[in-house]
Structure 1
């Protein structure tokens, strides 16, 4: 599955008008709604020009394809992985390891920070990392970051809070003092 990198590219989520964290029920409901408004048999062909008809057909096929991908758990997981990878192909200002991050713990949430050259910070917290499939754990004043799927090495791209720079946080299950 290949994803386009241009700014005009629409994801299957955009096509079905749902958020990327939408539940299967939300995706199904949005698919049915989009289908009703774009199905060629439901629209009047008499008042449509050939161009309008082709546009309707294209929209209908986009909706069908989006549903085929997002409606199946396995294909959605693969699509989400490819989507994340395509977004990480941005220019990376630096690669940072866990031990270079500043750590702040407040209650159950642990935040990791790295200062950007613009003066702001790149940051991510344990909840966000959990949603991405990583587990941040603290034991004996040491912090480690592990991928749930037993990958030896992984990475996460973090944007700066103010400028357009991004860093890649290297995750290799190493402890942080």
Structure 2
């Protein structure tokens, strides 16, 4: 059995949805299907002997050069990342906590240039999204689904600026 605090360090700064090649709104069946496909592809027991020999030589070489045994491109490391991502996303509570962490990281990553009230944004009913012009000439776009999920930081689609959308949940 693995220690969950240890697991979080192994995949630090990696997006579990990207690791499993699914969207953030994927349902559990889609996540499970992708996990199984990737697990079969990257499982150490499924690799052919030649790849294992080459990987062991690379790991040994890296160990001599870097004094560590981490080969970032190894299939074993990929499999471990896949396993950790699956263990997190299959559990409803862990997934909600992880999604909150992703949202917080997104907020910290982008420097918010302004705070805009949702009422000041134009609502496009056809796409169920709110749009606000950016000073670069492009737009900030946030969907109703994103708002209901708690997202409030929006990046411009044309530059690196972002805004915080101020709104009240009903």
Query: 1:144-159, aligned counterparts within 5 Å?
Result: 156-159=152-155
Q: Which residue of 2 aligns with 1:143?
A: none
Q: Which residue of 2 aligns with 1:122?
A: 140
**How far apart are the structure 1 equivalents of 2:159 and 2:87?**
37
Equivalent position SS for 2:95: helix
Q: Are residue 98 (structure 1) and residue 118 (structure 2) matched? A: yes
| Higher-strand-fraction structure | 1
RMSD: 3.0
1:45-74 superposed Cα distances (whole Å, 9 cap, x missing partner) = 355221369623212211110110111111
Is 1:103–1:110's contact at 8 Å kept on the other side of the alignment?
A: no
Structure 1 residue aligned with 2:98, among 74, 79, 102? 79
**Displacement of 1:172:** 4.0
- Using the size of structure 2 for normalisation, the TM-score is 0.69
Closer, same or farther in 2 for the Cα pair 1:132/1:172, shift >3 Å? Answer: closer
Q: Which residue of 1 aligns with 2:19?
A: 15
Q: Are residue 68 (structure 1) and residue 68 (structure 2) matched? A: no
**Displacement of 1:169:** 0.9
Q: Are residue 56 (structure 1) and residue 60 (structure 2) matched? A: no
| Higher-helix-fraction structure | 2
**Displacement of 1:118:** 2.3
- How many residue pairs match? The answer is 146
Gaps of 5+ in 2: 1-7, 61-70
Q: Which residue of 2 aligns with 1:137?
A: none
Is 2:122–2:132's contact at 8 Å kept on the other side of the alignment?
A: no
Is 2:121–2:130's contact at 8 Å kept on the other side of the alignment?
A: yes
Is 2:112–2:164's contact at 8 Å kept on the other side of the alignment?
A: yes
Q: Are residue 40 (structure 1) and residue 29 (structure 2) matched? A: no
